[in-house]
């Protein structure tokens, strides 16, 4: 299957700071990448769809100014959590693929103090 690399695996930051999460497709060209968030014991919730060379599409209720997505190349999509607050603490996962099946990164556990 396709390989998606996500970094960092975990990050601890102070409230008010910004955190960038990188998602790279290692063996396929990702015109689209999906960003999910997962709270403990809950399922993955789609936050946004990242589109190479164009604006991301955000799900209802997700603040686009808070969760900045950049997809400048076919192998890299980034999610920046701006002015993070404790309620943003969660597990963030990116996923994409050359077709119907999605391949996911290993996730980023964000803890905001």
Residues 25-62 as b or e (16 or more Cβ within 10 Å = b): beebebebbbbbbeeeeeebeebbbbbbeeebebeeeb
Give strand ranges (E) for 1-113.
4-7, 10-13, 19-25, 32-38, 45-51, 57-58, 67-73, 76-81, 90-96, 103-104, 108-112
Q: Is 56 in the site for another protein (CB under 8 A)?
A: no
Q: Should residue 102 be labelled a site residue for another protein when binding is judged by CB under 8 A?
A: yes
- Residue 76 interacts with another protein (CB under 8 A): yes or no: no
Select from 28, 49, 62, 66 the one that contacts another protein (CB under 8 A): 49
Q: Does 1 bind another protein (CB under 8 A)?
A: yes
Query: Of 11-19, 61-69, 77-85, 97-105, which part binds another protein (CB under 8 A)?
Result: 97-105
How far is residue 76's CA from residue 72's CA, in Å, rounded to a whole number?
7
34 counts as binding another protein under rule CB under 8 A = yes
State which of residues 19, 37, 78, 107 lies at the interface with another protein (CB under 8 A). Answer: 107
Specify the length of the chain in residues.
113
Least Å from the CB of residue 90 to another protein: 12
Contacting positions for another protein (CB under 8 A): 1, 4, 6, 32, 34, 42-44, 46, 49, 91, 93, 95, 97, 99-107, 109
């Amino acid at each position: 299957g396709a390989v998606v690399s996500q970094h960092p695996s975990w990050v601890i930051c102070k409230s008010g700071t910004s955190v960038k999460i990188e998602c790279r497709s290692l063996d396929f060209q990702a015109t689209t990448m999906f960003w999910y968030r997962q709270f403990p014991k809950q399922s993955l919730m789609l936050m946004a769809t990242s589109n190479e060379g164009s604006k991301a599409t955000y799900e209802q209720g997700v603040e686009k100014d808070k969760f900045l997505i950049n997809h400048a190349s076919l192998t890299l999509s980034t999610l920046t959590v701006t002015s993070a607050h404790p309620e943003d603490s969660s597990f963030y996962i990116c996923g994409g693929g050359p077709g119907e099946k999605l391949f996911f990164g290993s996730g980023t556990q964000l803890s905001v103090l």
